Amino acid sequence: MLGGLRPMLPFLAVVVVLLLVVALPLPGRGPRMFQRRDPWRGYRFGSRREVLERAGGRCEGPQLLAWGRCRAEATEVDHVYPWSRGGPTTVSNGQALCRVHNRRKSNLRPPWWYVLSLERRRANYVPSGTETRVLARMNAEERAARQSWAARRR
């Protein structure tokens, strides 16, 4: 049985490697392996407003795979790296989406090409000096806000 597959093995190996390269997330940008889940689930108040303002009130989803930008109004703020998979509720991990793009995305972990294309699109409409990089990690200020929030809830 393996004798018939032997000539195909190099081709299959190339296909598997290509699939992995296309589907894997961007190294070092997503949530850490054993990162505790952010207690804040949804974007509210200032963080929601900041994500929508950064997008100019328009959906940040791609029009065609990774090219172009959706023309619809952004009505929802969603995590680039899903909260259910360890992505924090931070402005750098947020994206303004229309209802269609948010439902289509679901809780899928974004491949590297999606993250890079989102950053490239943002460079065209975000005011200079505003951070466009997608990073699924909390900075010290955000971590302190979560801790003070958790302390008040006890």
Question: Any long-range contacts for 69-76 (C-beta under 8 Å, 24+ apart)?
Answer: 69/121, 69/124, 69/125, 70/98, 70/101, 72/98, 72/100, 72/101, 73/98, 74/98, 75/99, 76/102
Return the H-helix or E-strand segment holding 97.
strand 94-97
d(CA 16, CA 6): 16
Cα torsion for 69, 84, 88, 57, to the nearest 10°? 30
Collapsing DSSP to helix, strand or coil, 12 comes out as helix
Asked whether 80 and 93 are in contact (CB, 8 A), the reply is yes
Q: Which residues contact 123 (CB under 8 A, 6 or more apart)?
A: 132
Please write the tens of the pLDDT for every residue from 4-63.
Answer: 777 777 877 888 777 776 666 777 777 776 777 887 888 988 889 999 999 999 999 998
**Mean pLDDT of the residues in the chain:** 85
Return the H-helix or E-strand segment holding 23.
helix 9-23
Q: Which two tokens stand for residue 151?
A: 């302390």
- Please report which confidence band the pLDDT of residue 128 belongs to, taking 50, 70 and 90 as the band edges: confident
Please write the tens of the pLDDT for every residue from 106-126.
Answer: 888 888 888 999 999 999 998
Count of alpha carbons within 13 angstroms of residue 88, beta-carbon side: 22
Asked whether 85 and 75 are in contact (CB, 8 A), the reply is no
Higher-confidence residue of 86 and 150: namely: 86
